[in-house]
Chains A and B, each alone.
Chain A
Amino acid sequence: MEPLVRLHGITVRYDGRRNGGLVAITDVDLDIYQGEVVGIVGKSGSGKTTLLKVLAGLIRPVKGEVVFNNHKLNGNSFRVGVLFQSPLLLPWRTVIKNILLPIEVLGEDVSKYLSRALELIEKVGLKGFENSYPWELSGGMQQRVALCRALIHRPSLLLLDEPFSSLDAITREEMWMLLQDVISHEGCTTVLVTHDVREAVLLCDRVVVIGGKPGRVRAEVRVDFKRPRDLKLQYTKEFNDYVVMVRGLLGD
């Protein structure tokens, strides 16, 4: 089977004013298949966000290529939905208007996406909050709105960069289940960047470990639990074996 997205030999350098720039990641190969949930774990500064931004078309690598459905790309020409750690909602827009922002920007007919927006809002449990403003919502609720915004335009690839790390433990577990639910409902291919190994093992089909300076792919671990997974899975031996293995690969 051909991958949906193939990264080949990706190297990214940030131009610094001093010391002639910094190579953040080098020679990264990564295949992402249709419908898969891929986790990317690594320590802080290992280049996870950089890799995600390459996938989002936000950073042009100095070396290597991005191949989408067998087409070589320069710049992004497939649709991505991005969710960062902070929800980044526009405070002057209501929930529904925030969610429809990508549609406006893409220049598509907003009225055609209204029912989809409402459906997503219901899916993430925010029915009744369509016309609320972001400040009227809790952090977890705001992040759920941001998730809807990342999905509204039916992206080929959903990119999540430590999306739950600013939430409290209980809300985070809720969000794990919600995300799993939404991903399987939408059937979208997902890349989840995280430094939380438990989160990666619980949610992903495959965990890619990156590390070193500059960052490289150290290992890949296939997680053989079938989806949907239950929070209780965390307390099983098999789960902890995975966690211990991935932690080991992270190195020190």
Chain B
Amino acid sequence: MRLSRSRTLNSLVVLVFICVVWELVVDLLSIPQYILPTPTSIASTTIKYYDYLLRNLLDTSIHALVGLALAATFSLAISLPLAYSEVVRDTVYPLITGFNAIPRAALVPLLALWFGLGSMPKILTAFLIAFFPVLVPTLTAMVTIEKELWELLMSFGATKTQILIKVGIPRAMPYFLSSLHMGLTSSFVGTVIAEMVASDSGLGYVILSSTSRLDTALAFSCLILLALITFVLSKVLSVVERRVVGWAYRVST
């Protein structure tokens, strides 16, 4: 505990150092603010537009999280039949992999065409980018139960469904929850992209409109807020992980 606190302090010191160097470099080389704003001007911009930024941050976060929730639910739901049946898996999985090869950002204009400029393209893009990184580890954990464990369960008459429920799902939980970290960043990327292409709200939209006005400091504020929110949510997720699947982190051999 003490160790991790001192490490956090170290990280903060390094961060402050970077900001100081950044500030000095921009000043000394007289780089124009619209190319690279100084940390102090980013800070003052953030304070000035506090309400506006917060509103849009909330907007982005809600859409990203709804997209992530959909991705998580969908991944879990689809991993069960995929894990249960090799035939279904061999049929459907290549299709999913193939779909994953499409650059999802390129789908945003289509989504906007079909669903308009509202929330739908934001949620769907988040979902489409986030679900694959959640599905793969979850499914893999479900289908890689050791042969001996499988035989042990069969020896007292367990059916395939029982093995999936008693072993497959609990075994997949740590992988599922840790994949949500990846899913979290992916879903924010998805929502921000959709906001840049097909929306008039959210941080993605703010970034696009502020850079076009050469208000670069405001764009930086958005980037920092996005980093902060995913960092905080990731920490929250870690707490949930330790609570729910603490066993997975304590196995000693």
Chain B residue with Cβ nearest A94: B247
Interface pick from B56-64, B120-128, B153-161, B211-219: B153-161
Q: Cα distance A7–B217 when bound, in Å? A: 82
Residue among B152, B166, B171, B248 with the highest chain A CB neighbour number at 10 A: B152
CB contact list, B225-253 vs A, under 8 A? 245, 247-248, 250-252
A169 at the interface (CB under 8 A from B): no
Choose the segment among B102-110, B143-151, B194-202 that binds chain A (4+ C-beta atoms closer than 8 Å). Answer: B143-151
Which residues of B does A touch, CB under 8 Å? 146, 148-149, 151-158, 162, 166-167, 170-171, 173, 245, 247-248, 250-252
Chain A residues whose CB sits within 8 angstroms of the CB of B162 once the complex forms: 105
**B157 and A135 within 8 A (CB):** no
Segment among A13-21, A81-89, A192-200 that sits at the interface with chain B: A81-89
Tally inter-chain residue pairs, CB-CB below 8 A.
Answer: 57
A90 within 8 A of B: yes
| Chain A: interface residue total (CB-CB under 8 A) | 25
Q: Of A52-60, A183-191, A221-229, which stretch is located at the interface? A: A52-60
Neighbouring A residues of B245 by C-beta, 8 Å: 92
A101 touches B166 (CB 8 A): yes
The B-contacting residues of A in range 95-133, CB under 8 angstroms, are 101-102, 104-106, 133
Proximity bits, A53-90, B CB within 8 Å = 1, else 0: 10011100000000000000000100111101010101
Q: Please determine whether B152 and A92 come into contact, CB atoms closer than 8 angstroms.
A: no
Residues of A within 8 A of B156 (CB): 79-82, 102, 105-106, 153
| Contact for B152 among A82, A104, A133, A153, CB less than 8 A | A82
Q: Mark A131-153, 1 if CB is under 8 A from B, else 0.
A: 00111000000000000000001
Partner of B151, one of A53, A133, A153: A53
- Chain B contacts of A91 at CB under 8 A? 247-248, 251
Q: Name the residue of chain A whose CB is nearest to the CB of B156.
A: A102
Q: How far is B250's CA from A106's CA once the two chains are assembled, in angstroms?
A: 30
Alpha-carbon distance between A218 and B162 when the two chains are bound, in angstroms: 40
Given known A91-B247, A91-B248, contact A58–B153 (CB-CB < 8 A) = no
> Chain A residues with Cβ under 8 A from B173's Cβ?
92
A76: chain B residues at CB < 8 Å are 155, 157
A92 to B165, CA, bound (A): 13
**Assuming the A-B contacts A53-B151, A82-B155, A88-B149, are A104 and B251 also in contact, with contact meaning beta carbons closer than 8 angstroms in the complex?**
no
User: A90–B152 Cα gap in the complex (Å)?
Assistant: 12
Task: Tell which of B146, B151, B166 has the most Cβ of chain A within 10 Å.
Answer: B151
A135 touches B252 (CB 8 A): yes
A189 to B153 CA separation, bound complex (whole angstroms): 20
Q: Which of B149, B155, B158, B166 contacts A80 (CB 8 A)?
A: B155
Q: Which of B166, B247, B250 has the most CB of A within 10 A?
A: B247
Residue numbers in B under 8 Å from A88 (CB-CB): 146, 148-149, 152
- Residues of B with C-beta under 8 A to A84: 148, 152
B250 and A133 form a contact (CB under 8 A): yes
Given contacts A76-B157, A88-B152, A92-B173, 6 further A-B contacts (CB under 8 A): A53-B151, A81-B155, A101-B166, A105-B153, A105-B162, A106-B156
CB-based nearest A residue for B151: A58
Instruction: Provide the residues of chain A in CB contact with B247, threshold 8 Å.
Output: 91-92, 133, 135
Q: Please, how many angstroms separate the alpha-carbon atoms of A215 and B171 in the complex?
A: 37
Query: CB < 8 Å: which of B151, B154, B167, B250 contacts A90?
Result: B167
The residue in chain A whose Cβ has the minimal distance to the Cβ of B162 is: A105
Can you list the 10 inter-chain pairs with the closest CB atoms, starting with the nearest? A102-B156, A82-B155, A105-B158, A135-B251, A92-B247, A56-B155, A88-B149, A92-B170, A135-B252, A91-B247
Selected A-B contacts with CB under 8 Å, 26 pairs: A53-B151, A56-B155, A57-B155, A58-B151, A58-B154, A58-B155, A76-B155, A76-B157, A82-B155, A84-B152, A88-B148, A88-B152, A90-B170, A92-B170, A92-B247, A101-B166, A102-B156, A104-B166, A105-B153, A105-B157, A105-B158, A106-B157, A133-B247, A135-B251, A153-B156, A159-B155
A159–B148 Cα gap in the complex (Å)?
A: 14
* Chain B residues within 8 Å of A135, by CB: 247, 250-252
In the assembled complex, which residues on chain B have CB atoms less than 8 Å from the CB atom of A56? 151, 155
Q: How near does chain B come to A179, taking the closest CB pair, in angstroms?
A: 18
In the complex, A24 Cα to B173 Cα: how many Å? 38
In the bound complex, residues from chain B placing their C-beta under 8 Å from that of A102 are 156
Q: Which residue of A lies closest to B148 (CB)?
A: A84
Cα–Cα, bound, A81→B152 (Å):
9
Query: For residue B167, which residues in chain A have a CB less than 8 angstroms away from its CB?
Result: 90
**CA of A13 to CA of B149 in the docked complex: distance in angstroms?**
22
The answer for the CA separation of A57 and B154 in the assembled complex, in Å, is: 9
With the chains together, A153 CA to B157 CA distance in Å? 11
